[in-house]
């Protein structure tokens, strides 16, 4: 809004500073979702360039450059942008992952991707499943700004896990066209993800049958199905 900006999960500083210069923007703050270096690597250079920069992030583990640790229930305000972010604890990808939600803007980090979700790199399948269900319960029009453009690869797995899903096939065609023209597939929406993302569809009979056929397990509840699905994707 106006000439103000914030940045979420700057893995590199250079694209951020280039964008700020190109658009004549002032950087008012940074939001960090978790400690992985591809989400935090730009912090030292950004803090060199803007020594007063306010950087919000999880309380643990300590992250070099985070100077305002936040957690579940905290509110992060940027009056210059008219934005108030609720901080949501969404463990699973890591044990201390957080997400930021301002009205219908969701920044889920590596918790939720379009047609996919983060790997288990510190948290448990039970935590990630619960975190995804929490995000899926947000209003359908909520826009989902995932940190990574993994959509096409995720959709390839989604087709294997749930072969018959016409809406997902339509989204795949849309995403192929977007990527062919160098456009992002993001943001997605919660409503779309509930219809096409296999990790939010672990109650669907076809998906349960696929997981059973692939793993030889008989997932008798949503968590068992989610756990087996996440493990399948890891080796896909
Ligand atoms: Zn990560």
Catalytic residue among 38, 203, 220, 221: 38
Provide the 3-class DSSP secondary structure of residue 169. Answer: helix
Decide which of 84, 110, 138 is a domain's last residue: 84
Q: Dihedral (C-alpha) 6, 10, 15, 16: value to the nearest 10 degrees?
A: 20
28 classed as catalytic: no
110 classed as catalytic: yes
141 classed as catalytic: no
Look up the domain containing 167 and give its range. 90-236
Residue 167 and residue 99 in one domain? yes
d(CA 236, CA 232): 6
pLDDT at 215: 87
9 has pLDDT over 80: yes
Residue 148 belongs to domain with CATH number: 3.60.15.10
86 classed as catalytic: no
**Band of pLDDT at residue 7, cut at 50, 70 and 90:** very high
Residue 56 and residue 141 in one domain? no
Catalytic residue among 35, 39, 56, 97: 39
Residue 107 and residue 74 in one domain? no
The overall average pLDDT reported for the chain is 96
168 has pLDDT over 80: yes
pLDDT at 102: 98
pLDDT 10s digits, 40-86: 999 999 999 999 999 999 999 999 999 999 999 999 999 999 999 99
Residue 184 and residue 140 in one domain? yes
pLDDT 10s digits, 173-215: 999 999 999 999 999 999 999 999 999 999 999 999 999 999 8
pLDDT at 1: 57
Residue 73 and residue 128 in one domain? no
CA of 93 to the centre of ligand 1 (A): 7
pLDDT 10s digits, 99-154: 999 999 999 999 999 999 999 999 999 999 999 999 999 999 999 999 999 999 99
Phi, psi of 84 (to 5 degrees): -125, 120
pLDDT at 58: 97
Decide which of 84, 107, 135 is a domain's last residue: 84
Q: Domain count of the chain?
A: 2
Catalytic residue among 35, 56, 93, 97: 93
Exposed/middle/buried for residue 222 (C-beta within 10 Å: 0-12, 13-18, 19+): middle
Decide which of 56, 84, 112 is a domain's last residue: 84
CA of 43 to the centre of ligand 1 (A): 16
Provide the 3-class DSSP secondary structure of residue 7. Answer: strand
pLDDT at 170: 96
Cβ neighbours of residue 181 closer than 8 Å, sequence gap 6 or more: none
CA of 166 to the centre of ligand 1 (A): 30
């Amino acid at each position: 809004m106006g000439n103000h900006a914030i940045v979420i999960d700057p893995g590199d500083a250079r694209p951020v500073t280039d964008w700020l210069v190109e658009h004549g923007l002032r950087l008012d703050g940074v939001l960090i979702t978790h400690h992985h270096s591809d989400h935090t690597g730009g912090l030292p250079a950004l803090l060199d360039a803007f020594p007063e920069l306010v950087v919000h992030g999880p309380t643990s583990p300590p992250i070099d450059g985070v100077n305002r640790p936040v957690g579940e229930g905290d509110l992060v305000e940027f009056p210059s942008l008219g934005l108030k972010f609720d901080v949501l604890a969404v463990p699973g990808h890591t044990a201390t992952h957080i997400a930021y939600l301002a009205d219908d803007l969701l920044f889920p980090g590596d918790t939720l991707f379009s047609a996919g979700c983060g790997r288990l790199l510190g948290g448990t399948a039970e935590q990630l499943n619960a975190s995804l269900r929490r995000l899926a319960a947000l209003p359908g029009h909520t826009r989902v700004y995932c940190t990574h453009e993994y959509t096409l690869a995720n959709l390839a797995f989604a087709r294997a896990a749930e072969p018959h899903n016409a809406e997902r096939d339509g989204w795949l065609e849309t995403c192929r066209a977007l990527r062919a023209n160098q456009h992002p597939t993001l943001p997605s929406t919660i409503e779309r993800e509930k219809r096409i993302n296999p990790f939010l569809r672990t109650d669907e009979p076809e998906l349960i049958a696929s997981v059973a056929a692939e793993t030889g397990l008989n997932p008798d509840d949503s968590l068992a199905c989610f756990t087996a699905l996440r493990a399948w994707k890891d080796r896909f």
